[in-house]
Structure 1
Amino acid sequence: MASKILMGDMPELMENILNNLKKDPNSLYSCSLVSRHWCKMSIPILWQNPFLFNQKPLYISEYFSSLDEDEIYILKEYGINLKISRKLFNYAKFLKDLNLSNLESKARVWTSLNLVEPISSKIHLDHLDALVNIVINLLLKLLFESGAVLHKLVLSFSELFEFKPEIFYSIGRNELFFSRLQNLSLSVIPEFNIENATAFLKVLAKNITTISSLELEIYSEYGPRSFHSLFHAIIQIIKSQDQLKWFNLVGEDHPTEFYGIISTLEYQKNSLQEVAIEGCAYSKEFEVLKDCKNLETLRIWNCSSKLLNLLDCKISTLDIVNCAIDVHTIPLILEKYGLLIQQLRFESKNSDDFDEALFFLEAFKSFCPNITYLYISSIEISIQLLELIGSLQKLQFLSLRCFFDDDIQEEELKVRVIQFAEILPLTLQYLDLGDTFLLCQPCLDIFLNYCNAPLKKLIIFRLDDEKDTRALIEFCIRNKSLNYVGVYRYSDLDENFRKEAEAHDANVVLVPSQRISVNC
């Protein structure tokens, strides 16, 4: 099979392999040097999002190799030492993801690197800002006219940057560029160039209907009335999409005013499947989400407790982080819809508020028996938590970021750990212990000695103790279904411990935790 891949006889498999290297430009570049076929496969992937990589943006010169003479002359007049070389590919055509902030940052670095004379004064800094603006507009014009088809666009407008009129002309002439845009992210910063941003968003509203994922960052205060036209443009974008499925709203300083943006989701009530709200105060606009009949996932992070009233809808994935618990509303809602919840993530707002956490656990134990994924953080490993875990007879994935009471006696601690190990349901396939046992060694070995859950994946914080290693080896021998053990502190893992653990069971591999972690 290896020879077939090298010869290019299995292009789909080859493409899948290379796509897994998207975030590793060095490996992708090495692949491009293997053969002509590998080069043709690797280069388009390497250039899908070049502005993401933390390297000197020398590649911008490759883009500029297709500039016409007038544009090259403009750069040289501003003091840019541009060297044009013959290119093998139309690199701009491969662009899939574009982050305007990253592009601006890389353009500034590239400009500084290619100036004939270095910047040395404020006057020269103003000159640099103007030149960077020219470079960005030239880049955008090239990208828009390259034949590229964008999939993801992240917009964060700088107050220094301004679109030139020819950019809007290029967009109008090259509708293909935005024709398959699926993901749009927009940060509405009060200090940025409002008119500039509004003009661009109006163009997007006229040219885009394919967005399935929209993320907005909203601030708490907006002064000038000119912002109203900006918000109107955002509203038009929401209205004009065929099927918006995912909506994420990030609030800075807990905004209370949303200018009709949330209410506009009424136009997407039949397609919206996931909503995430972060750092926002309550607003009546959010009530529109109750009409979203196909909403399956609701994420509420660091928000007003009133937003938990939005649970009055048929969702299967619930993600609550750093929110106060409404003791009067939650039981009524869960009693009505709790049977539908299959994935739950709960991070307590205040780890010291034992009563709040206890109330929440009791509510879910009573009304949510069908949970298959559970993530619990910042609460004590109490009898009530163990009872909840033990009651979930369909549980397959469990992640804990919990702690034991500081005042618990050693013998009682061991008993609690044994109870935890023995209460795990036999349906459990994935267990992420996080740093749960970090401060209570020697508990990991006790847990492993008493755990009989048929885990396929286990994640622990570290493995730097011979007793824990021995317990892990015995657990691997006893548990024939285990395939992976993830370690958060993998870089600190003793090589001898790793070899010893893997030597006793060829089916078990120790890996960095992020390789096997599962999120809801």
Structure 2
Amino acid sequence: MPRQLPADCLSEIFDYLENDKITLYSCLLVNRLWCEIAVRILWKDVFCSSTPCPRVVLSLLSPIIACLPNESKDLLYKNGIFFKTSTWKPPLFNYASYCKILSINKIDQMIQNAFLQNLNSDKELILQEILKVLMSQISSLKSLDYSKCPMNVKLINFPGAKDCLMNLTELSCCSTDKYSELSPICHNIQSLTVEFGDFISNGLKDLISLQHNLKNVTLIYSYISLLNRTSGMEIITSSLSNFSLTLTRLKIIEYCIPLSFISCFINLQELILSYEYDDGLNDFDQLQYIKFPRLKVLKFLYMIPKVDMLIKFLEINGKNLDELYTGEYDRSLNLAIAEFCSNLKILFVMFINVGLDTLGIILKSCQYLESINIWCNYIDKKRFLEVLAKNTPKNFSELKIYYIFDQIHPDELEEFFINWKIHMPRRSLSLVIIKSICLEVNVETMKLIEKYVEMKLIKFRIKIYDEKED
């Protein structure tokens, strides 16, 4: 009889399958031990899914409802909220205790999708009782999305909440919420996302200031009135300046905050700026001469600063960059990338037909380049692929093509595959097509891709374009 792998070995193996839900579901059926380990991983972030299917959602909520104490069940029953009798049966596992990542808004949506289309007045009661049981059963929650909270939830009032939230490391919240309840117990937050509303509470300032090791901050603009904008800036910049040594990742989305405050984060490794209008980058001149010795990732998701400022910044910091993302074409900028960013591994940069010669210059200069991202819409695809195939660095292994409005013709793509095989005969290419949800890759192109996948020349996958992606 074959020996069973120890539980700790199986657990480590299954951890690698965290994003492969289909395989994990299959593991549930092998035996009791496999089921116990797989179910813990499956339920780690079960409340972060956003499926609208009532049947699927109800199958996820039912085990939690079954975990409710009798007083909660009686309360729901007295308020006219009835469930199938099977929902009340004791579950095989204490599913609630396995949850490590919670989104209050997602749980609220799941309740709505499952069985409350016409019982909106009782939705908050169900949410309250579910959160109550989660707080009492989860020994240590790791991530909490508190933003867009549908009700005035005071988690700390639930039994067991203090122990549950004490080791929280990730928090998403709104600037308008009151966080005085979290400040006394949550001091280990490392990743913080704040969506700004029409004012910024002092409770948020206190919560930020009391953290021990804040590393990752995302600031998202929602709405801030002109009256409160200045005071909001002061609250955030003064609070975050306490983490000048520990902060390693900063992302700012449309938030009108003086960029000069970024200069204090001398250990910054990743900087992402997302502005649809360039006025948010007007004061980038305050950063162009600042040296960030550990900066590895620099992304401008929409607009870029004035080109001369960005070039000066790259002259000082470009040598350390592993990843660079710029969403606009400028010939002088592309030449600066080739000159100052020779150690890049990942590059997203715009090209136009008259500037494709700069692609060859970049490829020859950036010999460590492993991945390049292109938009199909703005260039002669055939020529781009010819230049890429003939100048490919030896470490290059990934091509991401954005199909938003237009596609590459199959003949152009096949010619690239043939050139790749000639120049890189021993290396397979990872081809990723990132497309809009309404645009399908044409049949001829898919047949061609499948042909070369079978030949093991390429690996292939499709992603849906998400404007919120980093």
* Separation (CA, whole Å) in 2 of partners of 1:379 and 1:336: 27
Identity of aligned residues (%): 19
- State which of 343, 347, 352 in structure 2 corresponds to 1:374: 347
State the secondary structure of the residue aligned to 1:344: strand
Residue 422 of structure 1: CA displacement?
A: 1.9
* Separation (CA, whole Å) in 1 of partners of 2:67 and 2:223: 45
* Separation (CA, whole Å) in 2 of partners of 1:91 and 1:42: 12
TM-score normalized by the length of structure 2: 0.81
Aligned positions, number? 439
Counterpart for residue 292 of structure 1: 265
Within-5 A mapping of 1:93-492: 93-112=97-116, 119=118, 128-158=119-149, 161-163=151-153, 167-170=155-158, 173-188=160-175, 197-198=177-178, 201-219=179-197, 222=198, 227-228=199-200, 231-252=201-222, 257=229, 258-259=232-233, 260-281=235-256, 283-284=257-258, 286-302=259-275, 304-306=280-282, 308-309=284-285, 310-311=287-288, 312-314=290-292, 315-348=295-328, 357-377=330-350, 379-380=352-353, 382-403=356-377, 417-435=385-403, 438-439=407-408, 442-451=411-420, 475=421, 479-482=425-428, 484-486=430-432
- Provide structure 1 residue ranges, at least 5 long, that are not aligned to the other structure: 114-118, 120-127, 189-193, 349-353, 407-412, 452-474
Counterpart for residue 37 of structure 1: 33
* Separation (CA, whole Å) in 1 of partners of 2:214 and 2:236: 14
Residue 247 of structure 1: CA displacement?
A: 0.8
Change (3 A) 1:145 1:429: same
* Separation (CA, whole Å) in 1 of partners of 2:31 and 2:399: 43
Change (3 A) 1:401 1:14: farther
* Separation (CA, whole Å) in 1 of partners of 2:107 and 2:297: 35
Contact 2:45 2:101 in 1 (8 A): yes
* Separation (CA, whole Å) in 2 of partners of 1:484 and 1:24: 19
* Separation (CA, whole Å) in 2 of partners of 1:36 and 1:414: 55
* Separation (CA, whole Å) in 1 of partners of 2:26 and 2:410: 44
Instruction: Output one character per residue of 1:42-80: Cα deviation in whole Å (capped at 9) or x when no partner.
Output: 221222222234223244343233444433222111112
Change (3 A) 1:88 1:476: farther
- State which of 442, 445, 452 in structure 2 corresponds to 1:501: 452
Residue 37 of structure 1: CA displacement?
A: 0.9
Residue 267 of structure 1: CA displacement?
A: 0.9
Change (3 A) 1:420 1:147: closer
Q: Which amino acid aligns with 1:213?
A: S
TM-score normalized by the length of structure 1: 0.74
* Separation (CA, whole Å) in 1 of partners of 2:447 and 2:148: 51
Change (3 A) 1:379 1:150: farther
Q: Greater Rg, structure 1 or structure 2?
A: 1
Counterpart for residue 78 of structure 1: 79
State the secondary structure of the residue aligned to 1:298: strand
Change (3 A) 1:90 1:318: same
State the secondary structure of the residue aligned to 1:156: coil
Contact 1:255 1:280 in 2 (8 A): no
* Separation (CA, whole Å) in 2 of partners of 1:359 and 1:64: 61
Q: Which amino acid aligns with 1:501?
A: Y
- Provide structure 2 residue ranges, at least 5 long, that are not aligned to the other structure: 435-439
Q: Which amino acid aligns with 1:394?
A: Y
* Separation (CA, whole Å) in 2 of partners of 1:235 and 1:183: 16
Aligned Cα RMSD in Å?
Answer: 3.4
Contact 2:100 2:143 in 1 (8 A): yes
* Separation (CA, whole Å) in 2 of partners of 1:59 and 1:403: 42
State the secondary structure of the residue aligned to 1:34: coil
Residue 401 of structure 1: CA displacement?
A: 2.2
Residue 10 of structure 1: CA displacement?
A: 4.5
State the secondary structure of the residue aligned to 2:359: helix
* Separation (CA, whole Å) in 2 of partners of 1:135 and 1:416: 56
Change (3 A) 1:58 1:316: closer
Q: Which amino acid aligns with 1:480?
A: R
